[in-house]
Copies of this chain bind each other. A is one copy, B any other.
Amino acid sequence: MFTLTAAALGLALNAAASTPVAPLDFKQVQPGVWKATVGTPEDLTLLGAAGVQPAREALATLPAAPFPFRDGDSVGRHDSGRVALRFPLARDEEIYGLGVDFTSMRRTGLTYQLHVDHWGGRAGRTHAPVPFYVSTKGYGVFIDTSRYITVSIGLGVRLSSAEKPPVIDRTTQSKSWAALPRADSVEALVPAPGVDVYVFAGPTMTDAVRRYNLFCGGGALPPKWGLGFMTRTPTAYTAAQVLDEIAAFRSRGIPLDMIGLEPGWHDHAYPTSFQWDPTRFPDPSGFLSRLSVLHVRANLWFNPYVSPTASLYRALLPFAGSHLVWNGIVPDYSMAGARGIFQRHLRERVLGSASAALGGFKIDEVDGIDAWLWPDLAEFPSGHDGEQMRQTYGLFLQRLVLEMYRGLNQRTLGQVRGTNGGASSFPFVIYNDNYDFDEYITAVGNTGFAGVLWSPEVRGGAGEDMLRRIQAVCFSPLALFNGWATDTKLWTHAEVAGDIRDAIQLRMRLLPYWYTAFAQYHYQGTPVVRPMPLVEGFAPPAGEDPNAITDVTEVKDQYLVGDVLLVAPIRPGAKSRRVVLPAGRWFDFYTGRLAGEHETIEVAPPLSRIPLFVRDGGIVPMIGERQFAPARDEVVPLEVRHYGTRPGEAMLYDDDGETFDYERGNHTWTRLSVQRDAAGQLKGSVTPDSNGQRWRYSEVRWTEMTR
User: CB within 8 Å of B: which residues of A?
Assistant: 2-12, 14, 16-18, 80-82, 84, 109-111, 121-122, 150, 152, 155-160, 164-172, 177, 179-181, 187-189, 191, 235-236, 263-264, 266-271, 277, 307-309, 314, 317-324, 326-329, 332, 370-372, 374-381, 383, 385
Contacts and interface: CB of A to CB of B under 8 A. Distances in A.
Given A84-B377, A166-B327, 8 more contacts: A7-B320, A7-B379, A11-B377, A157-B323, A159-B322, A171-B264, A181-B327, A191-B191
A378 B156 contact: yes
Given A111-B370, A122-B122, A191-B191, A169 B270 contact: yes
A661 B551 CA distance: 63
A587 to B, nearest CB: 43
Contacts of A159: 320-324, 329
Given A167-B271, A189-B377, A322-B10, A17 B307 contact: no
A20 to B, nearest CB: 11
A78 B199 CA distance: 35
Nearest to A192: B81
B170 A269 contact: yes
A268 B171 CA distance: 8
Given A8-B381, A180-B371, A375-B150, A160 B322 contact: yes
B371 A111 contact: yes
A12 B269 contact: no
A309 B379 contact: no
Interface centre among A8, A18, A380 (most CB of B within 10 A): A8
Nearest to A374: B156
A238 B594 CA distance: 63
A263 B170 CA distance: 9
Nearest to A181: B327
Nearest to A307: B167
A8 B263 contact: no
Interface centre among A5, A10, A17, A318 (most CB of B within 10 A): A5
27 contacts: A4-B317, A5-B320, A7-B320, A8-B317, A11-B379, A80-B80, A80-B81, A81-B81, A81-B191, A84-B377, A122-B122, A150-B375, A152-B370, A155-B375, A158-B324, A167-B307, A167-B309, A168-B270, A169-B270, A172-B236, A179-B326, A179-B372, A181-B327, A187-B375, A188-B377, A189-B376, A191-B191
Contacts of A374: 156
- Is chain A's binding surface mostly helix, strand, loop or mixed? loop
Contact of A327 (B80, B167, B385): B167
Contacts of A381: 5-8
A323 B156 contact: yes
A18 to B, nearest CB: 8
Contacts of A371: 109-111, 152, 155, 180
Nearest to A4: B317
A6 to B, nearest CB: 8
Contacts of A179: 326, 372
Interface centre among A11, A152, A159, A268 (most CB of B within 10 A): A159
Interface centre among A12, A82, A121, A270 (most CB of B within 10 A): A270
A8 B320 contact: yes
Given A82-B377, A308-B167, A3 B317 contact: yes
Contacts of A10: 322, 379
A370 B180 CA distance: 11
A3 to B, nearest CB: 6
Given A3-B317, A121-B122, A323 B372 contact: no
A279 to B, nearest CB: 9
A160 B378 CA distance: 12
Nearest to A266: B171
Nearest to A265: B171
Contact of A375 (B8, B111, B177, B271): B111
A81 to B, nearest CB: 3
A102 to B, nearest CB: 16
A307 B12 CA distance: 22
Nearest to A309: B167
Contact of A7 (B80, B269, B322): B322
Nearest to A43: B16
A376 B150 contact: yes
Contacts of A181: 324, 326-327
Nearest to A327: B167
Nearest to A15: B383
A183 to B, nearest CB: 8
A82 to B, nearest CB: 7
Nearest to A308: B167
A187 B323 CA distance: 11
Nearest to A110: B371
Interface centre among A7, A12, A109, A122 (most CB of B within 10 A): A7
A383 B14 contact: yes
A169 to B, nearest CB: 5
Given A263-B171, A268-B169, A327-B157, A375 B308 contact: no
List of 7 A-B pairs having minimum Cβ-Cβ separation, nearest first: A81-B81, A170-B270, A189-B377, A84-B377, A111-B370, A7-B379, A157-B324
Interface centre among A164, A318, A322, A327 (most CB of B within 10 A): A322
Contact of A164 (B187, B264, B309, B327): B327
Nearest to A8: B320
Contacts of A266: 171
A235 to B, nearest CB: 6
Contacts of A111: 370-371, 375
Contact of A322 (B12, B268, B317, B318): B12
Contacts of A383: 14, 16-17
A17 B382 CA distance: 12
A3 B316 CA distance: 10
A76 to B, nearest CB: 10
A190 to B, nearest CB: 9
A611 to B, nearest CB: 35
A235 B236 CA distance: 64
B7 A171 contact: no
Contacts of A314: 2
Contacts of A375: 111, 150, 152, 155-156, 187, 189
B177 A270 contact: yes
Nearest to A279: B172
